[in-house]
Amino acid sequence: MNKFKTIGVSISIVLIVLLFIALFEYIFLKIMGFQYNSLLDLLLFFIMYLFLEIPLAFITEAIPKALKSVGILQTSKGWLPFILNTVLTFLLIEAIDTFMVNIDIKWQGTLIFALVTGFIGWKLNKDEDEPPDIDSEEFKEIENRFKSER
């Protein structure tokens, strides 16, 4: 029974956090010209956006770190994460806008929203640790741990 309470409380906390994020994004998008026909359309838009944005966030964080680890980039905190986040957010919202007839967002508003969220994400990730280089001892230790678990 305690297990179900723990799961229920955890899910509730996650849903409350997602609700606050959606509320912030709704207010910002409304200022930028976001229009919808019904509350159901608005809810469907944010459900689609939040659940499609999560895998995109993993991609925008993983690509620069992977490129830094293999030595293609000197740092994973430069302009690449900002550009990836901005472009993918813009494309995601434009795709949802295209396929949802009852939602209308001007592309300029989408661009401003994508730039702001890209900048916020970029600033939040500034303090994260850099991934280890592929030639480093730390990387070899991690690799050995994975090999020993098999």
Per-residue pLDDT tens for 12-60? 898 888 888 778 777 877 787 778 888 888 889 888 998 999 899 898 8
Report helix, strand or coil for 35: strand
The letter for the amino acid at 5 is K
Tokens of 126: 């500034």
| 56 alpha carbon, distance to own chain's centre | 5
Q: Which residue has the tokens 């609700």?
A: 19
pTM: 0.73
The residue range of the domain holding 51 is 2-149
B/e letters for 81-102, b = 16+ CB within 10 Å, e = fewer, are: bbebbbebbbebbeebbeebee
Let me know: does 36 contact 42? Beta carbons within 8 Å: yes
Residue from 59, 135, 134, 141 nearest 92 by CA: 59
Let me know: does 105 contact 73? Beta carbons within 8 Å: no
| Total domain count, the chain | 1
Average per-residue pLDDT for the chain:
85
Per-residue pLDDT tens for 70-84? 888 788 788 888 999
d(CA 118, CA 143): 32
